Amino acid sequence: MQLFGQILVNGILLGGLYGLMGLGMGLVWGVLKIVNLAHGALIMLGGYALYYLYTKAGIDPFLGLPLAMVAMFVLGYVLQTALLNLIVRSAQLNTLLLTFGLDVVFVYMAQLLFSADFRTINPPYAGKNVTISGVVVPYAQFGAFLVALVLAGLLFLVLDKTRTGRAIRATAQNLIAARLYGVNPKRIYAITFGTGAALAGAAGGLYGIVSQITPYIGVTLTAKSFVIAILGGLDKPLGVIGGGLVLGIAEAMAALYLDPTYTDIISFGLLVLVLVARPAQLLGRA
C-alpha cells in the first residue's frame, strides 16, 4: 500500500509538469489553429536557458524561471511575427510543415551549441525531500508541481480578466467578430504564440530540474503535450493541468504494474481512447 501511495504521488507531481507542457500547446492550437510540432523544441530550449542561467550566472532555477520565460516569449513573438503569420489559419499541412521545419532547425542548433550530452539542473535542494506517512515527496518535484499550478491559474486569470485575454478568447471563438470590435489578429496571434513559448520554456526549465535535457527530448514531449491538450480541452487551462495529472498518474501506474518501457505507450493509448469516445475534442469542442 505504501508503494502504491508513493507511485501515486510521483504520478501527481509528474502530471503537474505534464500539464504545464500541455498549456502552451493547447493555447496555440485553440487560438491560432496550429498544431505546433516545434513545441517540444521550445520546451527543450527553455530547459537549456534555465540550465545556463543556473550554471553560468548562478541564479537559482526557480528565481531564474521568469527570465527564461521572458526570453522564450520574445523568441515566440518574433517567430510568429516573422514566419507563422504568413501561414496562420491556412491549410493544416502548411502549418505542420513549417513548425516541423522549425523543430528540425532548433534541434540541430541545440546540438551544435550545447552538444548532445545529458544536462541536469542540480540546485543544492535537488536531492532533499520530506517524508509524509512513509511517502517521500522531493522538494524539487513538489516545487515544480506548485509552479505549474500557479502558472495555470495565472493564465486562467489573464484570459478571463484582462483586455488582452478577452481579445485572445474572442479571436479564438470568432475571428470576424473580433475584428469588428477592433482586435488586431496579427498582434493577438503573436502574443498568444509568445505566451505559448513562454509556458513551454517554463515547462522545459522545470523538466531540467526533475529529469535530464538533451537536444532530442522534444519529439516525445510534443506528443505528450498534444495528448494532454486534447484530454484537458483546448480552451480550459485548468482542465489541461487535469489532463496532465491523468497522464502522469497513468504512466506511474503503468511503470508499477506493467513495465517502465510502457510509459510512453500510455500517452498514445489515452489519445486513441479520447478520440474514439469524444472525437470533437480534436477540434477543441466539448
Amino acid at 143: G
Task: Give pLDDT, residue 284.
Answer: 46
For residues 20 and 152, the answer to whether their CB atoms sit within 8 Å is yes
For residues 263 and 254, the answer to whether their CB atoms sit within 8 Å is yes
- Separation CA 223–CA 243 (nearest Å): 13
Structural domain includes residue 197: yes
pTM of the model: 0.91
Structural domain includes residue 243: yes
Structural domain includes residue 181: no
Structural domain includes residue 36: yes
Task: Give pLDDT, residue 47.
Answer: 96
Pair type for strands 135-138 and 129-132: antiparallel
C-alpha cell at 266: 500510455
Q: What is the 3-state secondary structure (H, E, C) of 192-255?
A: HHHHHHHHHHHHHHHHHHHCCECCCCHHHHHHHHHHHHHHHCCCCHHHHHHHHHHHHHHHHHHH
Structural domain includes residue 172: no
Sign of the alpha-carbon torsion through 226, 232, 236, 241: negative
Structural domain includes residue 166: no
Q: What is the mean pLDDT of each run of 10 residues along the chain (286 residues)?
A: 82 91 90 90 96 94 95 96 84 88 95 92 87 86 91 90 90 84 89 96 94 92 88 74 88 77 74 68 48
Task: Give pLDDT, residue 178.
Answer: 82
Task: Give pLDDT, residue 277.
Answer: 67
| Total domains in the fold of the chain | 1
Structural domain includes residue 180: no
For residues 172 and 31, the answer to whether their CB atoms sit within 8 Å is yes
Structural domain includes residue 87: yes
Quote the domain boundaries for residue 11. 2-161+187-283
Report CA-CA distances (Å) from 159 to 55, 194, 235: 34, 14, 10
Q: Where are the alpha helices (DSSP H) in the chain?
A: 2-32, 39-55, 61-82, 92-114, 139-161, 163-173, 175-180, 185-210, 218-232, 237-257, 263-277
**CATH number for the domain including 197?**
1.10.3470
